[in-house]
Chain A
Amino acid sequence: SYDLTQPPSVSVSPGQTASITCSGDKLGDKYVWWYQQRSGQSPVLVMSQNNKRPSRIPERFSGSNSGNTATLTITETQAMDEADYYCQAWDTNNYVFGPGTKVTVL
């Protein structure tokens, strides 16, 4: 089975940049999707196919994917960005989620 790895937590100050990584074997050869889940809420898709931002997602969210690592970057981080973030890939008829990264805005 295919596995994805994420750091358990990332801390960022308001207005600064947060980078959340997702690692997997030759992940750059696959598409990666990212989800935001605020406390007590359902997940929301924030990045599609590595770097395509859904229309309802702010421009401060961006994504990249190369080598073994995909990255979701949040610039000018706001308090409302505090949430759990999950990466997702697709591998041979399986949807694979990363373990999630808790982003804390201090």
Chain B
Amino acid sequence: EVQLVESGGGLVQPGGSLRLSCTASGFNFNNYEMNWVRQAPGKGLEWVAYISSGGTSIYYADSVKGRFTISRDNAKNSLYLQMNSLRAEDTAVYYCARVLLRACDYWGQGTLITVSS
């Protein structure tokens, strides 16, 4: 069974940093591209970042470019999102999602990030 479990969420002050993790199981993690997608409270889905299976190709949404860094450790079946210079508008549930043919075919349960003083 494919499982994606996010962790690392919480309350952080504006301008602060946070690192999210996503641990994968039930599939060969190093064969799959991965995405981070977020959802602000009561709002729709917003793609955040993409990383290829080997980590050599990385793309970001304009809203996070220069502040967020996506990475992965295939030996640990783990995906990461380093978030710096956080703003109130970054408040959201952050999902990691497995990518298959440009679809997010499996999603984690999400982790909530609240940016507030």
A residues with a Cβ closer than 8 A to B are: 1, 31, 33, 35, 37, 42-45, 48-49, 54, 84, 86, 88, 90, 93-100
Q: Which residues of A contact B105 (CB under 8 A)?
A: 45, 48, 54
Known contacts A33-B103, A35-B104, A48-B101: A43-B44 contact under CB 8 Å: no
Q: Which residue of A lies closest to B62 (CB)?
A: A1
Distance of A33 Cα from B108 Cα, bound (Å): 18
Interface flags for B73-103 (1: CB within 8 Å of A; 0: not) read 0000000000000000000000100000111
Distance of A96 Cα from B110 Cα, bound (Å): 19
Instruction: Answer yes or no: B61 CB below 8 A from chain A CBs.
Output: yes
CB proximity of A90 to chain B, nearest CB, Å: 5
- The answer to whether B44 touches A95 (Cβ under 8 A) is no
Instruction: Answer yes or no: B29 CB below 8 A from chain A CBs.
Output: no
Q: Which residues of B contact A37 (CB under 8 A)?
A: 45
The interface size of chain B toward A, counting residues with CB under 8 Å, comes to 21
Set A45, A84, A95, A100: member contacting B47, Cβ < 8 A: A95
- The answer to whether B47 touches A42 (Cβ under 8 A) is no
- The answer to whether A96 touches B102 (Cβ under 8 A) is no
- The answer to whether B47 touches A86 (Cβ under 8 A) is no
Distance of A95 Cα from B62 Cα, bound (Å): 11
